[in-house]
Amino acid sequence: MKTISKSAYFTKEQEQTARFAKALGHPVRIAILQLLNSQACCFHGDMAEELPIAKSTLSQHLNELKDAGLIQGDVTPPSTKYCVNRANWELAKKLLNNVLK
């Protein structure tokens, strides 16, 4: 009997949709995206002042969003500037809309 991996059953679109959904699965990340979406870009320190969480916790959430491709960061020591990754944001909206129809 031939064993087929679970990933062989799912399309790339399904896998990408799940990745975006996972990244969006926390209210802090939603707040981060709303904050970034309302501005051209934002510095890590500015977000730490806006959101009621520790800087280290903020960094973890930013990394999750960045790993999913929903945001991008420009590291210029000593600061990091984050922006919404517009191409992936549009893709996420399209993929999630297909699921939520």
Cite the DSSP H helix spans in the chain. 12-23, 27-37, 44-50, 55-67, 86-100
Whether residue 37 lies inside any domain: the answer is yes
Which CATH number do you get for residue 27? Answer: 1.10.10.10
- The total number of residues written for the chain in this structure: 101
Q: Is the pLDDT of residue 24 over 70?
A: yes
Question: What is the reported pLDDT for 42?
Answer: 87
Peptide bond between residue 27 and the one before it cis (omega within 30 degrees of 0): no
Question: What is the reported pLDDT for 29?
Answer: 96
Whether residue 7 lies inside any domain: the answer is no
Whether residue 3 lies inside any domain: the answer is no
What are the pLDDT digits (tens) for 68-97?
Answer: 999 998 877 788 899 999 999 999 999 999
Question: Number of structural domains, the chain?
Answer: 1
pTM: 0.86
Whether residue 5 lies inside any domain: the answer is no
Task: Tell me which residue range forms the domain holding 41.
Answer: 14-95
C-alpha to C-alpha distances, 23 to 1, 3, 41, nearest whole angstrom = 36, 30, 19
What are the pLDDT digits (tens) for 28-81?
Answer: 999 999 999 998 888 888 888 889 999 999 999 999 999 999 999 887 778 889
- CA 49, distance to chain mean position in Å, is 20
Question: What is the reported pLDDT for 7?
Answer: 67
Whether residue 8 lies inside any domain: the answer is no
